[in-house]
């Protein structure tokens, strides 16, 4: 089996490459410019030499077509495109082009080459908007509240449309928040963990955050890529929520992180209104029962395990 991972350099792409290699796949990964990309996460996992990498611009149809024709993959995992909710408010056009436009290019290429390629699309819990206190399942209506979420919602419906109209084996995994030490510091969880670790070592810095009265379902990236693979092994294509089923506040995440380092977070954290998003989701809750029932998958690491593993990684250097 040969898999093409679009966006292999990221957190999920790197863990997915590791998983597929362990399963005996030939893995090809793409980056916008593979000649200058560092692929540091692949190096960190010790698999850089095992993954063939190539350049591909997902928002360029011809680029996507050339790669798919040359590689001839059995499975394609679309993890590319803009990944930051906050940044999408500053770059809404890029968000729409790379996420929605990129997904459309992938689907059109699969239709054009007319091969039995199985396609996984990275969906997002952001599409649901604020779930209030009702856990979202696969039938919950989308109410996106950011350019990123609007783009993800559009990509989701295109996957559904191509599946129904053209019989393409196309699926979306609607992933709730998932973290790991491979996250860059522009993501708030890694920002918190890294700052707490440095403060413990005597940096004397203050961690500046925005709104911590938000509630999320946090899981572990390496768990979630297993769900991605399982989604493409089903007899029929379908969409699945991937989550732990447990929701905690960002304040909880901050407190438990500082507890790990024997620190009181209130002594080291300040807040800045400028870090608040123009619109944000207060509560995001998930019901992952369908994944459990149909994929035989459930999260192995909850938020406490995520915090512990990310903090331990800072001690390992």
pLDDT of residue 316: 82
User: Each residue of 206-257: pLDDT tens digit?
Assistant: 999 999 999 999 999 999 999 999 999 999 999 999 999 999 999 999 999 9
pLDDT of residue 35: 85
pLDDT of residue 38: 86
Q: Give the structural domain span for 262.
A: 188-215+247-282+301-315
| Residue 225 sits in the same domain as residue 133 | yes
| Residue 120 sits in the same domain as residue 199 | no
| Residue 201 sits in the same domain as residue 137 | no
pLDDT of residue 277: 64
> Catalytic residues, which ones?
124, 126, 148
pLDDT of residue 275: 66
| Residue 162 sits in the same domain as residue 208 | no
| Residue 158 sits in the same domain as residue 74 | yes
pLDDT of residue 276: 66
The three state secondary structure string of the chain is: CEEEEECCCCHHHHHHHHHHHHCCCEEEEEECCCCCCCCHHHHHCCCHHHCEEEECCCCCHHHHHHHHHHHCCCEEEECCCCCCHHHHHHCHHHHHHHHHHHHHHHHHHHHHHCCCCEEEEEEEHHHHCCCCCCCECCCCCCCCCCHHHHHHHHHHHHHHHHHHHHCCEEEEEEECCEECCCCCCCCHHHHHHHHHHHHHCCCCCCEEECCCCCEECCEEHHHHHHHHHHHHCCCCCCCEEECCCCCEEHHHHHHHHHHHCCCCHHHCEEECHHHCCCCCCCECCECCHHHHHHHCCCCCCCHHHHHHHHHHHHHCC
pLDDT of residue 85: 79
CATH of the domain at 263: 3.90.25.10
Q: How many domains are there within the chain?
A: 2
pLDDT of residue 186: 86
DSSP bridge partners of 222: none
| Residue 68 sits in the same domain as residue 196 | no
pLDDT of residue 83: 73
| Residue 140 sits in the same domain as residue 193 | no
The whole model's pTM is what? 0.94
Low-confidence ranges of the chain (pLDDT < 50): none
| Residue 235 sits in the same domain as residue 109 | yes
| Residue 209 sits in the same domain as residue 235 | no
Q: 264: closest CA among 198, 212, 196, 311?
A: 196
User: Each residue of 12-29: pLDDT tens digit?
Assistant: 999 999 999 999 999 999
| Residue 115 sits in the same domain as residue 91 | yes
| Residue 47 sits in the same domain as residue 150 | yes
Query: How distant, in Å, are the alpha carbons of 69, 82, 106, 245, 283 from that of 214?
Result: 44, 22, 34, 16, 6
Query: How distant, in Å, are the alpha carbons of 65, 69, 89, 119, 239 from that of 112?
Result: 9, 10, 33, 14, 23
| Residue 49 sits in the same domain as residue 111 | yes
CATH of the domain at 46: 3.40.50.720
């Amino acid at each position: 089996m040969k898999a093409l991972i679009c966006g292999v350099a990221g957190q999920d792409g790197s863990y997915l490459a590791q998983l597929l290699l362990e399963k005996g796949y030939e893995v090809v990964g793409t980056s916008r410019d593979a000649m200058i990309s560092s692929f540091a996460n692949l190096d960190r996992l010790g698999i850089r030499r095992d993954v063939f990498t190539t350049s591909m611009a997902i928002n360029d149809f011809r680029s996507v077509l050339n790669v798919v024709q040359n590689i001839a993959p059995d499975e394609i995992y679309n993890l590319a495109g803009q990944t930051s909710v906050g940044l999408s408010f500053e770059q809404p056009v890029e968000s729409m082009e790379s996420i929605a436009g990129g997904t459309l290019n992938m689907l059109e290429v699969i239709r054009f080459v007319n091969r039995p390629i199985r396609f996984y699309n990275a969906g997002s819990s952001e599409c649901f908007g604020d779930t209030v206190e009702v856990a979202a399942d696969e039938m919950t209506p989308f109410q996106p509240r950011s350019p990123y979420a609007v783009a993800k919602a559009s990509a989701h419906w295109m996957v559904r449309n191509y599946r129904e109209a053209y019989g393409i084996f196309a699926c979306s995994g609607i992933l709730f928040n998932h973290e790991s030490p491979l996250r860059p510091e522009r993501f708030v969880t890694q920002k918190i963990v890294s700052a707490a670790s440095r403060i413990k070592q005597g940096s004397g810095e203050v961690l500046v955050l925005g709104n911590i009265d938000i509630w999320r379902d946090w899981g572990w990236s390496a768990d979630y890529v297993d769900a991605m693979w399982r989604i493409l092994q089903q007899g029929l294509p379908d969409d699945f929520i991937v989550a732990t089923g447990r929701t905690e506040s960002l304040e909880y995440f901050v407190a438990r992180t500082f507890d790990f380092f024997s620190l009181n977070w209130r002594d080291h954290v300040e807040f800045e209104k400028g870090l608040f998003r123009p619109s944000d989701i207060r509560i995001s809750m998930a019901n992952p029962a369908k994944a459990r029932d149909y994929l035989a998958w459930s999260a192995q690491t909850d938020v406490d395990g995520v915090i512990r593993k990310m903090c331990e990684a800072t001690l390992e250097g």
